[in-house]
Amino acid sequence: MKSIHLIAPSGASLDTRSPIAGIEWLQKQGIEVLNVACVDRVDQRFAGSDAERLAEINQLATLSPDSVAVAMRGGYGLHRLLPDIEWSSISKAIKSGLQICGHSDFTVFQLGLLAKTGAVTLAGPMLNFDFACQGEQGEGVTPNAFMWAHFQKAIEDRKLDCTIQAAQPFLRKPASGQASGMLWGGNLTVLAGLVGTPYLPNQQQTQGGILFLEDVNEHPYRIERMLMQLLDAGILTNQSGILLGGFSAYRLYDNDRGYALETAIEVISKRLPENIPVLTGLPFGHQAEKLTLPVGAQAHIQYDVSGFTIHSTW
């Protein structure tokens, strides 16, 4: 990986230190960082005007085939751009070698591109959090080694291999098994918001897929409500496996009276056919330790009550 081309398609940077720290860390690894001016753009809460951000997304189609594009951060903003994104041109660039990585709000671009063209993108690290880790006093903290190793493997080898050792309390019958299918998903809030739109892959595309989900700042009852939406829309029952990553930064209240995230997952799991495994502990989400996952690639999982493995090449 010789260079990274930055894009800022969603929210503006919340502080000036984060992008600078991320850029400096990447440069210390011998990586040239391109299009750094995008991190300074601000238009209301967005990283530039709609026109600026749209132009930057569409310019991805003109990058050299060996380019790696990485989003600065998530937030919100890509939904505004969807009708005018040049999906076909970007897909052609990806098929020629371009790789594009991000998560959170970037889920809407990844799922839109998958729905429209079938092109594979990477759900993985972004500049401001993953490469710009800051301590409580603003001092630099080395980016997570697990994240960095798996990001490099994805970029350089186009390969995902990981074994997750974590008890799996939501398996039913069978309590062990394996499944293969298209790996897809991302941020739960974003994905649920795309139901009924042309930017969510349809049931035929996702039949027998492996769906991964994560979220941040969402109380478990909201997570349950969105999972219910996906269940009632026939999306969850269409899968061969469901992988749950990090659901972080929420607060439980006294009136929850024991209701927790595990409760929400159990309720959903019991409404699914017993042969669809719901696996937890996927290292992905708004957290330092994260995999880089190929959205739209074929993947294979093997699981039992003590954990699971996930493998993909693309």
- Summarize pLDDT for 254-286 with one digit per residue, the tens: 999 999 999 999 999 999 999 999 999 999 999
Q: Which residues contact 146 (CB under 8 A, 6 or more apart)?
A: 283, 289, 290
Measured between alpha carbons, how far is 76 from 109 in angstroms, rounded to an integer?
A: 12
Say if pTM beats, i.e. exceeds, 0.85. yes
For domain 3-143, the CATH superfamily is Murein tetrapeptidase LD-carboxypeptidase, N-terminal domain (3.40.50.10740)
The tokens 């990447």 sit on which residue? 26
Q: Please list the active-site residues.
A: 104, 214, 286
Count the neighbouring beta carbons within 10 Å of the beta carbon of residue 43.
14
**What pLDDT score was predicted for residue 141?**
74
Q: How far apart are the first and last CA of the chain?
A: 17
Sequence spans of domains, the chain: 3-143, 158-313
Query: pLDDT tens-digit profile of 113-168?
Result: 999 999 999 999 999 999 987 655 556 678 999 999 999 999 999 999 999 999 99
**Order of strands, sheet of 239-248, starting from the edge strand that comes earlier in the sequence:** 159-165, 307-313, 298-304, 177-187, 209-216, 239-248, 278-280
Distance CA 231, CA 193 (A): 14
Task: State how far the Cα of 245 lies from the Cα of 314, in Å rounded to an integer.
Answer: 22
**Domains 3-143 and 158-313 equal at CATH topology level:** no
Q: Taking the domain 158-313, which CATH number applies? A: 3.50.30.60
pLDDT tens over the chain, length 314 residues: 999 999 999 999 998 889 999 999 999 999 999 999 999 999 999 999 999 999 999 999 999 999 999 999 999 999 999 999 999 999 999 999 999 999 999 999 999 999 999 999 999 999 999 998 765 555 667 899 999 999 999 999 999 999 999 999 999 999 999 999 999 999 999 999 999 999 999 999 999 999 999 999 999 999 999 999 999 999 999 999 999 999 999 999 999 999 999 999 999 999 999 999 999 999 999 999 999 999 999 999 999 999 999 999 99
